[in-house]
Structure 1
Amino acid sequence: MSSQIKMHQLRAFVAVSRQGSIRAASRFLSLSQPALTKSIKELEDSLGAQLFIRRRQGVTLTECGEIFFKRASLILEELRVAQEDIAQRLGTHSGQVNLGVGASIARTIMPIVIDRFHREFPEVKVRIAEGQLVSMIPELRQGELDFTINTYYQSAYDNELLYEKLMDKEYRVVCRRGHPMEKARSIKELLHCDWTMPTPRGSYYKLLSEMFSEMEAEPIISVVCETFMSCTSLLAKTDFLSVLSVDIINDPLLGQSLVALDLDLPLPKATFHLIQRKDSTLSPMAAHLAQLFRLYCR
């Protein structure tokens, strides 16, 4: 390496990687394009490696760039958390907490927790990402999420993440009110129906798929809904079936249009965990928010 890597070079590199072009990163950082280009060139010279391939539509990372991005983005996130940690320990209640939640948590416990947290610490910004754990692994790895409240399924990430069990949720087969199969009592009666589910790579739905397969009564999932809104809209307005948590079905807004089937064999419960990186320490504000989730989940 010809010179020491500087923080402004890391910030420039991460911004260009995330924004996809020098122009977009320039607007994001409020810096000139020549200044950004110079920082990237200096960084590449220091590393002795090309980090970007320049294209007409923008830039893409090289193989070296991909490897360096994972480290660089984590360094910047850790620095941000460290700065906020010191400020918070000195009594400044500011900074940002980045949180991930599963759909059923987002519709039930999350609003109560966030409202209380915001009333206690109105200066702290909160970013909430919604989805299954599998979609949040990259952000957890790179420090862009402090923690997530989600279901867990044994995987290759076990050596990287900490899992703290919070609660179990009951799940049921769900349909619209007035569905022709509303009185069905077994999964096998429903195999001819149209089904929608989130991605089967997700923790709970992977477990569910395995259970259906063992029963030799696995529904054919013809539509995959990646968002809760698209799933519930499809259920409410068509004859599609799905599997959702009972507390979502009991929601006053959804309960008027959706019903849970009373099947002879109950579905497995979904276990929700507080999940974070093993090598990370939560800032005081993130730790306080995590504690509120523990309180309301139990």
Structure 2
Amino acid sequence: MIGSRVKYRHLHTFVEVARLKSVVKAADSLNISQPAVTKTIRELEELLGVALFERDGRGIRITRPGDVFLRHAAASLTALRQGVDSVSQELLDNVPPVRIGALPTVSTRIMPRAMTLFLEERTASRIKIVTGENAVLLEQLRVGELDLVVGRLAAPEKMAGFSFEHLYSEQVLFTVRAGHPLLGGGSVFAGLAAYPVLMPTRGSIIRPVVEQFLIANGVAALPTQVETVSDAFGRAFVRQSDAIWIISSGVVAGDIAAGMLASLPIDTSETKGPVGLTLRTDAPPSLPLSILIQTIRQAAGEVLPV
């Protein structure tokens, strides 16, 4: 059948010659030689059994049969392009997103820069970033709902089946609003009981660290506690009250630098712990995930000391 022998190159070349009314211009547009254009048009004319172009002075013009065929050829090319675009979009839509779990401190300090670098790579991959408690994120990673968790190193018994790559270390701060009474001097630990304290929730990875630190410094109990992992609530509540927010330094680093919050004069260096990348050992990272991991490493190196 004639249709089965007409190729895409025949249609594409014919439409370009008809559009530009010139073999020379069509050759330039298609980035092929003039003889190649002439040969392709002749092949198509032989397949169809009609002349598609005729001379017109120093140029050419399309014949009546050529004009009839042009309408179908152009429509076929348009339909083919639309089909390719539709399939490409369908494949893109069906590509599973790269799913990242990040602690609030990481979401605040590292991920914005990492995502900027990742988007510059133009992978066309979709990214999903969720924030929550470390234990919840690790469980989602374990069951395959996440591909990567960026957060603190979990306890050894929680790391079975996982690998961890250290990026940097981070400590806990006791944060208050600017002008808070405890910034004026005196024993900070003795004064904690007089104010509401925002504590990490019991499921959070820094809760045991905070409890051990308080006990080691003579604070056995705090009368008024509010447990939260919401950085939005913590930030808003502390700025409008005398509450004390015990939180990882990365979450409030920008607020402290801007003078909106302040860190109480307490040496919390012993609360410092490793923050890094946790992956499942039985799930090799995809190419987009590998690229994102590289950008997270770069962002951490730019923003924070190891």
2-structure distance, mates of 1:245, 1:207: 11
Q: Which residue number in structure 2 is paired with residue 261 of structure 1?
A: 264
8 Å contact kept, 1:174–1:259: yes
1-structure distance, mates of 2:247, 2:124: 35
Q: Displacement, 1:266?
A: 4.3
Q: Which residue number in structure 1 is paired with residue 191 of structure 2?
A: 189
8 Å contact kept, 1:186–1:265: no
Equivalent positions of 1:185-264 (< 5 A) are: 185-220=187-222, 222-251=225-254, 255-263=258-266
TM-score, normalisation: structure 1: 0.62
1-structure distance, mates of 2:256, 2:244: 18
Q: Which moved more, 1:241-250 or 1:173-182?
A: 241-250
Q: Displacement, 1:115?
A: 1.2
1-structure distance, mates of 2:256, 2:119: 24
Q: Does 1:288 align with 2:291?
A: yes
Runs of at least 4 residues off by over 6 Å = none
How high is the sequence identity, in percent, across the aligned residues? Answer: 19
User: What's the CA shift string for 1:258-298, capped at 9, x where partnerless?
Assistant: 11112256452132021111211110110111122122223
2-structure distance, mates of 1:245, 1:265: 11
Q: Does 1:115 align with 2:125?
A: no
Give 5+ residue unaligned stretches, structure 2: 1-94, 302-306
1-structure distance, mates of 2:262, 2:217: 24
Q: Which residue number in structure 1 is paired with residue 142 of structure 2?
A: 141
8 Å contact kept, 1:200–1:209: no
- After superposition, the CA RMSD in angstroms is 2.4
8 Å contact kept, 2:200–2:247: no
8 Å contact kept, 2:166–2:277: yes
Q: Displacement, 1:171?
A: 2.8
2-structure distance, mates of 1:265, 1:133: 21
8 Å contact kept, 1:151–1:271: yes
Secondary structure at 2:181 match in 1: coil
Change (3 A) 1:138 1:249: closer
Q: Which residue number in structure 2 is paired with residue 32 of structure 1?
A: none
8 Å contact kept, 1:98–1:146: yes
1-structure distance, mates of 2:158, 2:269: 29
* Equivalent residues, number: 206
User: What's the CA shift string for 1:87-132, capped at 9, x where partnerless?
Assistant: xxxxxxx652100111111111110101110121251110001122
Q: Displacement, 1:214?
A: 3.1
2-structure distance, mates of 1:119, 1:187: 47
TM-score, normalisation: structure 2: 0.61
User: What's the CA shift string for 1:124-147, capped at 9, x where partnerless?
Assistant: 110001122112123101211111
8 Å contact kept, 2:173–2:268: no
Bigger helix fraction: 2
Secondary structure at 2:175 match in 1: strand
Change (3 A) 1:264 1:150: closer
Q: Which moved more, 1:203-212 or 1:125-134?
A: 203-212
Change (3 A) 1:137 1:166: same
Q: Whose Rg is larger?
A: 2
Give 5+ residue unaligned stretches, structure 1: 1-93
1-structure distance, mates of 2:113, 2:129: 14
1-structure distance, mates of 2:233, 2:257: 13
1-structure distance, mates of 2:147, 2:195: 40
Q: Which residue number in structure 2 is paired with residue 177 of structure 1?
A: 178
